[in-house]
């Protein structure tokens, strides 16, 4: 790679829980580890990263973790230098002083707005779109993650699937059906727990802190762990990203939410259920249907119906009891299909590699 692109700045505002920072932290680590880049990650709330990066010291204005320079983005932001590539994650709005410094730089940096993931077809036509700044000699490009070669791809480390397969092959089978539960507090958690409690065979439900555990505690009372018939509900600590990946590989069914865990569940090759972030006027359900249409296209009729029914029930709070038995009965077929789905997605360039290529000098 040319020296002019060695320095990258990623700006991230923590909007909701761990979704935004989860994506940015994975991206930053991969750019350093696989592309030998010097990456600064600017965060307005470094404490939110500590759960994902336990080595982080939240009282330091700047530090280095996993090769990434992490800087506390404060209101008194001062520009020391402008990077060769600047990523504005999820339209977080760069500081005005930094934009002015970008405009004064020569050559001008590549300016990328990293967008949220969507399976909607319009993302293909918007991916890579240029947006000239209204008053500065700068051009920002919109970069859309996605599920097709016409988009920016998905975050995936080069050895991810090989690591997954090696770990899964060495794990002895467990006696209980293991389920990971990562959700928003709007999910029908209580109804799910009641359904699982009536299981005729052992079930282990692993619940991280935050909104998932709060929803479980609100329904069951106390702080757990809980035993309800054949169901064991076990609180677990919040996991660093690599450990969370291993949890997804281990569990037979993964309930995930937002963007980061959603993508990682697809790489896991296990049955999963996605809760999309709720939006006004039910706009999120349009995005959910766009994904379901794309994701289930290769499934047989019965398995497709089972997957769609549970995804919809989990996101609307309606029909969960009716949808669960069919989904549970099809979990083996879904796991097999999801491994094929992951392999198909892995045939395209990953998001980090795509960004590096997109920002390479145009000859």
Q: Report residue 362's pLDDT band, with 50, 70 and 90 as the boundaries.
A: low
Looking at the predicted structure, is the pLDDT value of residue 180 above 60?
A: yes
Q: Report residue 149's pLDDT band, with 50, 70 and 90 as the boundaries.
A: very high
Q: Which residues are catalytic?
A: 20, 259
Mean pLDDT calculated for residue range 209-216: 96
Looking at the predicted structure, is the pLDDT value of residue 346 above 90?
A: yes
| HSE-CB for 248 with a 13 A CA cutoff | 33
Averaged pLDDT of the chain: 94
Token duo for residue 46: 């470094």
Please report the pLDDT score of residue 72 as a whole number. 95
- What percentage of residues in the chain have a pLDDT greater than 70? 97
Each residue's pLDDT tens digit, 257-294: 989 999 999 999 999 999 998 888 788 999 999 999 99
Please report the pLDDT score of residue 4 as a whole number. 47
Of 124 and 362, the structure prediction assigns the larger pLDDT to 124
Looking at the predicted structure, is the pLDDT value of residue 14 above 90?
A: no
Looking at the predicted structure, is the pLDDT value of residue 16 above 70?
A: no
Please report the pLDDT score of residue 230 as a whole number. 96
Please report the pLDDT score of residue 2 as a whole number. 43
Please report the pLDDT score of residue 171 as a whole number. 83
CA-CA-CA-CA torsion sign (273, 266, 25, 143): negative
Percent of residues in the chain assigned helix, strand, coil, to nearest 5: 40, 20, 40
CA gap 347, 341 in Å, rounded: 10
Mean pLDDT calculated for residue range 125-148: 96
Q: Which helix (H) or strand (E) holds 265?
A: helix 260-268
CA gap 9, 83 in Å, rounded: 6
Where are the chain's structural domains? 3-155+349-358, 160-345
Each residue's pLDDT tens digit, 20-44: 899 999 999 999 999 999 999 999 9
Report the range of poorest mean pLDDT among 134-143, 243-252, 273-282, 298-307.
273-282
CATH topology of domain 3-155+349-358: Rossmann fold (3.40.50)
C-beta neighbour count of 324 within 10 angstroms: 20
Name residue 111's beta-bridge partners: 86, 140
Q: What are φ and ψ of residue 10, in 5° steps?
A: -115, 120
Looking at the predicted structure, is the pLDDT value of residue 215 above 50?
A: yes
Please report the pLDDT score of residue 214 as a whole number. 97
- What percentage of residues in the chain have a pLDDT greater than 90? 88
> Do 3-155+349-358 and 160-345 share a fold?
yes
Mean pLDDT calculated for residue range 334-357: 97
Token duo for residue 125: 């036509």
Please provide the CATH number assigned to the domain covering 160-345.
3.40.50.2000
pTM of structure: 0.95
């Amino acid at each position: 790679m040319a020296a002019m692109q060695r320095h990258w700045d990623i700006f991230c505002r923590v909007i909701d829980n761990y979704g935004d920072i989860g994506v940015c932290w994975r991206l930053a680590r991969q750019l350093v580890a696989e592309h030998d880049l010097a990456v600064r990650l600017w965060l307005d709330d470094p404490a939110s990263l500590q759960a994902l990066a336990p080595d982080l010291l939240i009282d330091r204005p700047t530090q280095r973790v996993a090769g990434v320079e992490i800087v506390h983005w404060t209101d008194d932001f001062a520009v020391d230098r402008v990077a060769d590539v600047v990523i504005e994650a999820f339209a977080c709005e760069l500081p005005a002083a930094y934009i002015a410094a970008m405009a004064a730089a020569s050559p001008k940096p590549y300016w990328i707005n990293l967008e949220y993931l969507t399976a909607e077809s319009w993302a293909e036509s918007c991916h890579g779109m240029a947006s000239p700044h209204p008053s500065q000699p700068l051009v920002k490009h919109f970069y859309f993650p996605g599920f097709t070669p016409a988009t920016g791809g998905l975050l995936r480390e080069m050895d991810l699937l090989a690591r997954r397969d090696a770990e899964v092959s060495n794990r002895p089978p467990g006696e209980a059906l293991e389920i990971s539960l990562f959700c928003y507090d709007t999910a029908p958690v209580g109804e799910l727990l009641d359904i699982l409690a009536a299981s005729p065979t052992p079930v282990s439900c692993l619940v991280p802190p935050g909104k998932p555990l709060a929803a479980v505690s609100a329904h069951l009372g106390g702080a757990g762990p809980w035993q309800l018939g054949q169901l064991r509900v076990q609180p677990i600590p919040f996991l660093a990203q690599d450990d969370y990946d291993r949890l997804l590989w281990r569990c037979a069914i993964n309930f995930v939410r937002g963007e980061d865990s959603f993508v990682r569940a697809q790489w896991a090759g296990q049955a999963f259920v996605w809760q999309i972030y709720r939006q006004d006027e039910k706009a999120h359900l349009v995005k959910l249907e766009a994904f379901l249409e794309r994701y289930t296209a290769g499934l047989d009729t019965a398995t497709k119906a089972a997957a769609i029914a549970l995804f919809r029930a989990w996101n609307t709070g309606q029909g969960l009891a009716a949808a669960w038995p069919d989904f549970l009965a099809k979990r083996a077929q879904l796991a097999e299909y999801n491994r094929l789905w992951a392999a198909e997605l892995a045939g395209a360039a990953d998001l980090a590699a795509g960004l590096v290529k997109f920002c390479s000098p145009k000859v």
